[in-house]
Amino acid sequence: MARHLITSAIPYINGIKHLGNLVGSQLPADLYARYLRARGHEVMFICATDEHGTPAELAAAKAGKPVADYCAEMHEVQARIARGFRLSFDHFGRSSSAENRALTQHFAKRLAEEGLIREVTEKQMYSVADGRFLPDRYIEGTCPNCGYDSARGDQCDNCTKQLDPVDLIEPRSVISGSTDLEMRETKHLFLCQSAMKDKLAAWIDSKTDWPVLTTSIARKWLFDGDGLQDRGITRDLSWGVPAQFDGAPWAGMDGKVFYVWFDAPIEYIAATQEWAAATGGDWARWWRTDKGADDVTYTQFMGKDNVPFHTLSFPATILGSAEPWKLVDYIKSFNYLNYDGGQFSTSRGRGVFMDQALEILPADYWRWWLLSHAPENSDAEFTWENFQTSVNKDLADVLGNFVSRVTKFCRSKFGEALPAGGVTGPREAELMAELETRIRTYEGLMEAMEVRKAAAELRAIWVAGNEYLQAAAPWSTFKTDPETAAAQVRLALNLVRVYAVLSAPFIPDAAAAMLAAMGTEDRSWPEDIGAALAVLPEGHAFTTPDVLFRKIADEEREEWQRRFAGRRD
């Protein structure tokens, strides 16, 4: 049994996320965690809400609430929605926790002791209208690199280029919209990333198995233009981890907090400490290589916009501390999911957001479509036509149809128990050979985190059962050879259990319903398909389940398409 640490990029606290956010980190991380647990491995799956920085302050101000109260409320909202999507976190933490505050300040101290933090007096945007310095995310403008007109002062979400506010064309205050901005002097702490460049480059180069998307973004930041630059790690904000050293304000840093992108990744560790405080578990064995974490495989899941901070800034923090912390072993990054010919837009109400999705259909419908269309090698697009087709054909016509046909037929001819008698023949042997090959392929794809290919292989496994049932036609065989029909049905009912086990990482609720219908809690993995298809013995009782997946009607699809089109500008 191996030990696996899994983290998904922590979502900002400012509101409910859309389906693109879900499929870009949390959902594939959950898929992988569920699969590893099903194979008997020990898993620690960690996520949290990212509660500091500009997004939290702006959202709280818009809601008319103190920022701490707003964050507490939204953490519960996001946790509830995560449960709704069956995200199986071992702990869903908060970056505003006492653990993260202490650990962030600890890392800053260690970096300073290692000579990797310097003070910089610089000019920063000041809004005359707002009467305050504007942290980079309080400033928007046009990206000088790609022309995107809503680039932020730290990064362009469209082309991922790292920016400074002064780089923006026609910058404006996010608070007031004012363009009356001027540069004034202020002092901040900088992480000396440039001093870590060679060590980071060697580390990135050693990751020959990482996705090209991940390494290409990292190398772009390392080598393009002037290369990796030192990065400010404090901001002029009131909400965040105070810039303190040994419990007292860092000299000259009164009233400043650490930059959200400095403290947010540290929350992965802090959230595990939160888990330990709640459960009595040992967090150090997951994160400290001197405490047993050297045998842990650490995998991170994230959208491509988060890659630079996880391949460079966070590793610079870990390596620069000169302490025995666990570094990530593999980063699975994703492109963007677009919506029906454009982009998801919170401000325009365009696209489906996580709470809305669960109001329309159960989680498994969304989990299946999102994972089977995950934007791994390029951006993907959600369309209602594709969603309807996938649900109706994959879930209803293939998997749901198989379960319905075999259980209803058995009930009508043999009763609700696995029938006795009969033996299997060449057709069943052929099916088992195909399943053995496909299941081993499925395992390899899941272990490699090839999400779309794994979904396609799982569907092919479902199809194999349908094709067998159609060819064997036990409803016809029963008329002349009821014992052979009994053997065929017994195999098919055992296959329902196998399908439940294999499908659980993708569609956990449907898998649980299939197991319940089969009257078993046996989730043993089909290491040998022959043995797996004999787990449920003759005479074992089952029930005929309700419809596993209902079809989406054209009228529903058209109504949803109108509802989530967003307003027109």
- On the question of pLDDT at 349 being above 80, the answer is no
**CB of 75 closer than 8 Å to CB of 14:** no
68: CB partners within 8 A, 6+ apart: 96, 239
Half-sphere exposure of 133 (CA within 13 A, CB side): 18
Give the model confidence (pLDDT) of 313-344 as tens digits: 999 999 999 999 999 999 999 999 999 888 88
**Are residues 393 and 464 located together in one domain of the fold?**
yes
- Tell me if 156 is assigned to a ligand binding site: yes
Is 543 domain-assigned? no
Give the model confidence (pLDDT) of 499-518 as tens digits: 999 999 999 999 999 999 99
Mean pLDDT score, 378-399: 97
Specify the higher pLDDT residue, 61 or 483: 483
Residue type, 432: M
Distance CA 151, CA 305 (A): 13
DSSP 293: G
Q: What is the mean pLDDT of the chain?
A: 94
- On the question of pLDDT at 567 being above 60, the answer is no
Give the three-class secondary structure for 130. Answer: coil
Is 564 domain-assigned? no
Is 538 domain-assigned? no
Give the pLDDT of residue 568.
Answer: 38
- Tell me if 410 is assigned to a ligand binding site: no
- On the question of pLDDT at 381 being above 80, the answer is yes
140 strand-pairing partners: 152, 172
Nearest to 484 by CA among 527, 416, 411, 427: 427
Give the model confidence (pLDDT) of 63-106 as tens digits: 999 999 999 999 999 999 999 999 999 999 999 999 999 999 99
CATH code, domain with 286: 3.40.50.620
Is 477 domain-assigned? yes
CATH code, domain with 509: 1.10.730.10
Nearest to 376 by CA among 419, 416, 331: 331
- On the question of pLDDT at 566 being above 80, the answer is no
What residues make up the domain containing 214?
115-249
Is 567 domain-assigned? no
**In terms of DSSP bridges, do strands 42-49 and 151-152 run parallel, antiparallel, or are they unpaired?**
unpaired
Is 206 domain-assigned? yes
**Are residues 413 and 525 located together in one domain of the fold?**
yes
Number of domains present in the structure of the chain: 3
Specify the higher pLDDT residue, 1 or 111: 111
Distance CA 307, CA 552 (A): 37
Distance CA 414, CA 488 (A): 12
Report how far apart the first and last C-alpha atoms of the chain are (Å, whole number). 55
Give the pLDDT of residue 569.
Answer: 37
Mean pLDDT score, 400-420: 97
- Tell me if 272 is assigned to a ligand binding site: no
Distance CA 489, CA 492 (A): 5
Give the three-class secondary structure for 414. Answer: coil
Is 153 domain-assigned? yes
pLDDT above 90: percentage of residues in the chain: 85
Mean pLDDT score, 212-219: 94
- On the question of pLDDT at 361 being above 90, the answer is yes
Mean pLDDT score, 398-410: 97
- On the question of pLDDT at 206 being above 80, the answer is yes
**Are residues 158 and 177 located together in one domain of the fold?**
yes
Sign of torsion, CA 446 450 452 456?
Answer: negative
Give the pLDDT of residue 341.
Answer: 85
Is 497 domain-assigned? yes
The region of weakest confidence among 150-159, 254-263, 264-273, 415-424 is 150-159
**Are residues 409 and 282 located together in one domain of the fold?**
no
Distance CA 462, CA 454 (A): 13
- On the question of pLDDT at 140 being above 80, the answer is yes
Q: What crossing angle do the helices spanning 98-113 and 260-279 adopt, rounded to 10°?
A: 130
Residue type, 222: L
Give the model confidence (pLDDT) of 436-467 as tens digits: 999 999 999 999 999 999 999 999 999 999 99
Give the model confidence (pLDDT) of 221-276 as tens digits: 999 888 899 999 998 888 999 999 888 888 888 889 999 999 999 999 999 999 99
Give the pLDDT of residue 469.
Answer: 96
- On the question of pLDDT at 346 being above 50, the answer is yes
